[in-house]
Amino acid sequence: MKAVIFDKPGLENLRVVEDVPIPEVKEGEVLIKVMMAGVNPIDYFVVTGSREAKPLPHIPGAEFAGIVESVGPNVTNVQRGNKVVVYPRLFDGTCDMCLVFKEMLCRNGGVIGVTCNGGFSEYVKVPSDNVFKIDEGMDWELAASMPVSALTAYHALNSASLSLNNYVVVVGASGNTGMFATQLARLVFSAKVIGVSRKKWVERFGAFMVVEKEHALEKIKEVTNGKMADVVIDPLGAETFLNSLELLKPNGKLVTYGVLTGSTVELPIFKIYNQQLSIIGTTGGSRRELTDLLNQYKWLQVKTWKKFKLEETKTAIESLSSPERDGRIFLDLTAQ
Interface residues with Zn ion (CB under 5 A)? 91-92, 95, 98, 106
- Quick one: 54 or 107, whose CB is closer to Zn ion? 107
Helices (H), the chain: 41-48, 96-99, 140-143, 151-159, 178-187, 216-223, 238-246, 269-274, 287-295, 313-318
Report the alpha-carbon distance of residue 269 to residue 287 in Å, rounded: 35
For the CB of residue 96, give the shortest distance to Zn ion in the complex, in Å: 8
Report the alpha-carbon distance of residue 16 to residue 211 in Å, rounded: 41
- Quick one: 64 or 91, whose CB is closer to Zn ion? 91
- Quick one: 130 or 145, whose CB is closer to Zn ion? 130
Report the alpha-carbon distance of residue 314 to residue 273 in Å, rounded: 44
For the CB of residue 126, give the shortest distance to Zn ion in the complex, in Å: 17
CB 284 within 8 A of CB 88: yes
For the CB of residue 93, give the shortest distance to Zn ion in the complex, in Å: 6
For the CB of residue 154, give the shortest distance to Zn ion in the complex, in Å: 21
- Quick one: 24 or 92, whose CB is closer to Zn ion? 92
Q: How far is CA 179 from CA 79, 172, 195, 308, in A?
A: 32, 8, 9, 20
- Quick one: 91 or 123, whose CB is closer to Zn ion? 91
End-to-end C-alpha distance for the chain, whole angstroms: 10
For the CB of residue 132, give the shortest distance to Zn ion in the complex, in Å: 18
